[in-house]
Amino acid sequence: MSQKYSIGDVAKKLNMTTRAIRFYDQKDLVKPEFVGENGYRYYGEQ
C-alpha cells in the first residue's frame, strides 16, 4: 500500500497553499488518490 498524504502535507512539501491545490483539483489538473467520507483529500507519491 502506498503512502497517503493529506492536502496540508502536500502543500508544505510543495511550498504551496491548500487553496492552490484545491484550485488545481477543481480545474482537473491534480486529483487526489482518495477522498475520505469526511471529504478530506489524500494524495499519493505521484
Domain 5-43 carries which CATH code? 1.10.1660.10
User: What are φ and ψ of residue 5, in 5° steps?
Assistant: -120, 140
Domain ranges of the chain: 5-43
DSSP 29: S
pTM of the model: 0.78
What's the gap between Cα 26 and its chain centre? 12
What was the pLDDT predicted at 20?
96
What was the pLDDT predicted at 22?
93
**What angle separates helix 7-14 from helix 18-26, to the nearest 10 degrees?**
110
What was the pLDDT predicted at 1?
57
pLDDT (tens digit per residue) in 1-46: 578 999 999 999 999 999 999 999 999 999 999 999 999 999 988 7
